[in-house]
Structure 1
Amino acid sequence: MIALSAVLPSGEGQGLTIPGEHAPGPVPFSVVAAVVLLGLVAAPSAHADVIDTNFLSALNARGIDFVSGQSAVVAGHEVCDELDMGRPKNDVVSDVMNSSELDGYHAGFFVGVSVSAFCPRHHG
């Protein structure tokens, strides 16, 4: 089952809640090392950021808003996971409709744009 409770029709998203700031403390060396290592592998993620941004823009253009962009991207990848397991697209569209407030058109669009963005191997 695809968890799309974060994907809502236009005007019904509530956005993210940002927790309060905490007082800064000493930064452990392991955290600094991890940040440096992540910086070394961050370049390939730039392509993923473009794909995610285009995916979110396509949803937004059709009036599909979301509680958070990250939730929508995760749900888009779940569409691909379901298709990878052999589920028919129509069944995945039904799952999207049942786990969100999207109608058939918008659920189908969500599945289609998910395929285009994250798993083009399922086109057709």
Structure 2
Amino acid sequence: MNKATSGNLPRRLLPEVSPGKVSHSPVQTSSKRRSFACTNCRRKHIKCTGPPSCETCVHSGRTCVFEPSKDRRRKEALRHAEKATEGYRNALVMVIQTFKSGADQEVRDLVDRMKQSSSVDDSLAELQEMTH
């Protein structure tokens, strides 16, 4: 077979299977996918087999600790994000209320305090303190 004719033929990717061995079921994998790793595996950036104790920790004799708060896909992370969003909302409402109904001096004081803050995060933290 020369190069000119081999370029026109389809490439075989899998070995030919006899008719009795054909399976239409999906391929099963031996390991389940874990949504998060223990602290030791996370620190080493290696695969974790999951709770209660992962194989890596068992073999190394370490305590296997899972911290759900470290997994940003879990409900606890969602609650944390919702709480932060609520804090931002409260700060924004306070600023808007001060602008709409506050005395001119209150508005100037608020603007001056925000200008004195070294960063946006500092300004936000100060606003959140004022709302509590």
TM range (shorter): under 0.3
User: 1 or 2 for the larger relative contact order (CA 8 Å, sep ≥6)?
Assistant: 1
If the length of structure 1 is used for normalisation, what is the TM-score? 0.27
Q: Which structure would you say has the larger Rg? A: 2
Higher strand share: 1
If the length of structure 2 is used for normalisation, what is the TM-score? 0.26
